[in-house]
Amino acid sequence: MTDNEFKTHHIAMTTDFIETDKPTTILISGSPSRTREIYDKLDIKEKLVETGRALPIGKGFLERTINDEEHKIAVVVGTTGMGFGTTEIVTNEIVDTYAQSIREQNIGLDVQINANPLNIFRVGTSGSHQPHVYGGDVVIASETSVPFGTLSDFVETEHDSALFHFKYGSLLTLEKALTTAQVIPGIQKSVSKLLKKVKYALSSAEVTQSFPSDSDLASYAIEAAQVLGIDKEFVHYGQVFSKLTLFSELSDLFTINAEGLREDRLDYRGKVMHENEVYCSEMEIGLMSAIIHQAKKLGYNIKIGGVMGVINNPREKSEAALFGGEELEKTAVERAMNVALETAVQAYKHQHLYKNRCISER
């Protein structure tokens, strides 16, 4: 490679990671070790780059016999690290690489949608927010949500309006007033009831809708789970919440300096997510969805999806509920990785083989 060739700054990604004559599926995890595990599962290992940021990327192929024909299915593996910061950088650099590959094909902005799709598919771990979603299960993302304010740099939402900020500020003021008024004799019971409603309303306002996962990718993932023979009991399809923090939920860790911990807000947020059928929470896909939404508005044929392995709420309640232990996590991650790899196969079938067959039959 010469100095003039395209290479992204942080993860050193180049356009040879992107196939030009067929779809490319990129499986992205937060953990470098999980990225290497997925890479090791590929039938053909082309290259694995240990980047200077310790976020490995790699490329290889799955070999499959489909309708008595041999096929090589391109799969790229990537790593975001934990949380929104590096996720924003890595996702943008992947999108930039795809955009550069489009430019190198001399495809104009008006016909980008006809280029082969790029499938970005997150392979993560998560915590359940529903009693029927157990540790070891997988959740295929239907849509995503994020905490209030996290998407303002990317997209305009209803939460950016002056009216929403006035409503939110009013609720915060009312919360403080009612908290003080709880000590006034004779009105404590009614104030306490109203305070609970205000806290719930605040928590509802803090769970901001992000963007749907691509419906095609989600259907490929559901099909993948069926092909793998995973019992329906262990597979769920629903909304995923991308949180900003992990250890704020472990309130005992903050007992030395608990003044700033909004423990009751976290409790109410949990109730909001349960009642709004948020299936699980993790720390990356919501922001990835917002970035891909922007890229799609420019006409790029990029799809976003994900599968999350659930590592809490074990079926056997003798285990710790917050983290289900190593064996449970191993089961969840293995299922998620296998579903993701088979999703790449199903995407290849639908986006390349079936599409080309339809064209040839016209």
User: Would you say residue 244 lies in a domain?
Assistant: yes
User: Would you say residue 36 lies in a domain?
Assistant: yes
* Cβ neighbours of 173 (radius 10 Å): 11
Query: With helix as H, strand as E and coil as C, how does 35-83 read?
Result: HHHHHHCCCEEEEEECCCCCCCEEEEEEEEEECCEEEEEEEEEEECCCC
The neighbouring-strand residues paired with 121 are 27, 305
pLDDT at 359: 45
User: Would you say residue 4 lies in a domain?
Assistant: no
Which positions of the chain have pLDDT values less than 70?
A: 1-4, 107-113, 248-262, 317-323, 356-362
Residue among 175, 178, 172 nearest 190 (CA): 178
- State the Cα–Cα distance between residues 140 and 210, nearest whole angstrom: 16
Q: Check if the beta carbon of residue 128 is closer than 8 Å to that of residue 43.
A: no
Q: What is the token pair recorded at 172? A: 């915060």
DSSP calls for 232-245: GGGEEEEEEEE-S-
- State the Cα–Cα distance between residues 297 and 293, nearest whole angstrom: 6
Helical H segments across 130-240, by residue range: 162-181, 188-206, 215-227
Q: Strand runs (DSSP E) across 67-173, as ranges?
A: 69-79, 118-128, 138-147
Q: How far is CA 344 from CA 19, 165, 239, in A?
A: 13, 42, 21
Chain centre distance of CA 77: 15
Q: What is the token pair recorded at 354? A: 């079936």
Looking up residue 233, the CATH number of its domain turns out to be 3.40.50.1580
Amino acid found at 351 = Q
User: Would you say residue 188 lies in a domain?
Assistant: no
- State the Cα–Cα distance between residues 197 and 174, nearest whole angstrom: 11
Q: Is the pTM of this model over 0.75?
A: yes
Residue ranges making up the domain that contains 319: 15-156+208-361
pLDDT at 73: 97
Report the number of distinct structural domains present in the chain.
1
